[in-house]
Amino acid sequence: MIPLFDSLLFDLMLVILIGILSQWIAWKFRMPAIVIMSVAGLLVGPIFGLINPQESMGDLFGPIITFAVAIILFEGSLNLDFKEIKEFSKPIGRIVTIGAFIAWIAGSLAAHYLAGLSFAVAFIIGGLFIVTGPTVILPLLRQAKLKPRPAAILKWEGIVVDPFGALLAVFAFEFIKFLNSEVTLKALLLFFAASVFAVLIGWVAARIIGNAFERGSIPEFLKAPILFVVVISVFVLSDEIMHETGLLAVTAMGITMANMHLTTLHDVRQFKENISVLLVSGIFVMLTASLDPHILIEIFKPNIILYVLAMLFIVRPLSIWLSTIGTDMSIREKILVGWIAPRGIVALTVSGYFATILLDSGYKDAEILTALTFALVFFTVVVHGFSIGFIAKKLNLTTTDESGVLIVSGTRFAAELAKSVKDTGNEVLLIDQSWAGLSHARKLGLSSYVGDILSEQIEYHLDLTPYRYMLAMTKRDTYNAHICADFAPDLGHEHLFQTAFHVGKDVDSFNITGGQKLFSPAISIYDLDERMNAGHVIRKTTITKQYSYTQYLRERDDKSILLFILRVDGTIEFFTSEVELRAVAGDIIVALTSPAKTIERVKERLEVGNGNKPIPYEKIEERFSEVEKAVKPAIPGDAPLSAQ
């Protein structure tokens, strides 16, 4: 078909628009983004013929893909911190080493005997297909809510193996050329020497740019652009010295920077993520839109279908079961991990890169690489994406009944609320963007993490699956609302909360919707912190048949704030201004009460202990601190939470 507009500018615009729109649709409807982008690219490309990026871009198509792959690999390698790898359990270490090797050999044999590729092309592409990739694994883990152990195995396998799949393909390519006598031993040794030099270039560049960041030699507004330019420069310089070593150089640069533990690296993370999302979206649409219609037909050829089935049901389970012999992985965990291995965008983009190189080198069977990769990527993402939840539940590897609470804030009230949640036996974690902001959490011995909850990188370092509720309680109301909007597809609106908007003379009025407004009555984080500083305390009251919820509401202090209910089964329900909760016998009400009410309770208890004789108010104030912790409650179940 004739393209809609014979314009390179229009094609670029449509590619970016479709890529980002696909990402948004995937986020909105909780679907794998790669599936949406695949369908969109096929519709505008080979099916309706609206665009063909490869034809319109001409000689620019290859370099654009190459640059994108280099940046994507650099971004992925930035997450490979050796300090975290040292903490791996035995199964993870085995899977990313022995398991990856078995997957390479078995996958290569399957590509040769089933897909019909030559040994050379099969072993090259087999190295690439060991990758799973965090870009597809992490959304699946959120969706399935796996238990921490299998989730950690799948997550870190994707992160560790992802940067090395392309490098394994590069080394296999050079070694195959040597075996076919296309290059001499001297040339092969020269390639390995150039590879070592590429690693050195990446290491030196990382050290220079990292130290410049730390010393403040580069202004804030130039950090991200300079890093971007240095990555491209390292890639091109290394590739010009020896072809195919550029990917190794940028990967070495990323790993080096990851292990320098730069305090300023998070400053450029937002820009890096934005670039990565744009590139991944755009490149994937470019590749699928450039597919020839006959490639779509090839996908359904028996040899390609057999290859995909072999990768799903033989190669992956075999690599997991053999590599984890002698480890403490259970049979259920082996079944799940042996089934879940979706290939992602990196596999398709890098395979397109190698398809061009192999065809230029005279390997004619490389023509089906794109069809083969697309079939493997599409089928694994769809099949694994829609089966992980069902299989995990059948294997009892999900955490569906958790009441963990993730609090995005570091204020004093947030820390005290987190402490009250922890005292109920539920998981709790506080996240704030600054170390200093979490000082209250550290004083109370609470789990905390420094970072931006809206950053994609948060999922590389934290397992968010144990947390059913998210409380956005920062002092930036719009930020709280954005957090709730961003996590709505994952957690659901009923599990997202934010403190009431703070409106004052220094705050511009705004119209924005977010999560449910926390507590009853709804109150801003500013007011909550003020009350904590004024001496208000978090108390809990047990509802009994003799002391009903109605009686509790009638007798409670007018200034008290209802926080949450701890149900008999151990789950938590937060009070909001939108839903009215009811407590029954056995439930515990947790509320923020005024010091006057607390002193009144202490007075009642002391009078009971003193034969109901009045006690001077001054004596109560003097003894308040120690008595409140020591005396048993006079009203059924009523006591400071810290006393339990």
Check: CB of residue 57 under 8 Å from CB of residue 64.
Answer: yes
Domain ranges in the chain are: 8-52+61-394, 404-593
pLDDT average, residue stretch 61-89: 73
- The two structure tokens encoding residue 100: 């990856």
DSSP string, 107-161: HHHHHHHTT---HHHHHHHHHHTT---HHHHHHHHHHHTB-HHHHHHHHHHHHHH
Cα 16 from Cα 34, distance rounded (Å): 14
Q: Helix or strand or coil: residue 573?
A: strand
Exposure class string for 546-563: b at 16+ Cβ within 10 A, else e: ebebeebeeebbeebbbb
Sign of torsion over alpha carbons 517, 518, 522, 526: negative
CA dist 642 to 419, 497, 539, 590, 630, Å?
9, 24, 8, 11, 11
Q: Report phi then psi at 206, rounded to 5.
A: -65, -45
86-93 contacts, C-beta under 8 A, 24 or more apart: 88/156, 89/327, 89/328, 90/327, 90/328, 91/153, 91/324, 91/327, 91/328, 91/329, 91/333, 92/152, 92/153, 92/156, 92/157
pLDDT average, residue stretch 117-146: 79
H or E element at residue 608: helix 595-609
pLDDT of residue 398: 78
Check: pTM over 0.75? Answer yes or no: no
Sign of torsion over alpha carbons 191, 196, 197, 203: positive
404-593: which CATH number, 3.40.190.10, 2.40.50.140, 3.40.50.720, 3.30.565.10?
3.40.50.720
Comparing CA positions, the residue from 546, 532, 541 lying closest to residue 565 is: 541
Q: Specify the DSSP class assigned to residue 593.
A: E
Cis peptide bond N-terminal to 91, omega within 30: no
H or E element at residue 394: helix 369-394
- The two structure tokens encoding residue 187: 């040339």
| Residue written as token pair 């089964």 | 569
| Residue written as token pair 């665009």 | 51
pLDDT of residue 631: 36
Give the length of the chain.
644
pLDDT of residue 233: 93
8-52+61-394: which CATH number, 3.30.70.3400, 1.10.10.10, 3.40.50.11810, 1.20.1530.20?
1.20.1530.20
Taking residue 294's Cβ as centre, other Cβ atoms within 10 Å add up to 10
DSSP string, 185-253: HHHHHHHHHHHHHHHHHHHHHHHHHHHHHHHT-S-HHHHHHHHHHHHHHHHHHHHHHSTT-HHHHHHHH
Query: For residues 61 and 21, which has the higher predicted lDDT (pLDDT)?
Result: 21
pLDDT at 431 over 60: yes
Segment 219-240, tens digit of pLDDT: 877 888 888 899 999 999 988 8
- Give residue 394's identity as a one-letter amino acid code: K
Q: Give whichever of 70-79, 255-264, 322-331, 406-415 has the largest mean pLDDT.
A: 406-415
Q: Angle of helix 220-241 relative to helix 246-259, nearest 10 degrees?
A: 140
**What is the pLDDT of the chain when averaged over all its residues?**
80
pLDDT of residue 114: 92
- The two structure tokens encoding residue 350: 């890098």
Q: Give whichever of 234-243, 399-408, 502-511 has the largest mean pLDDT.
A: 234-243
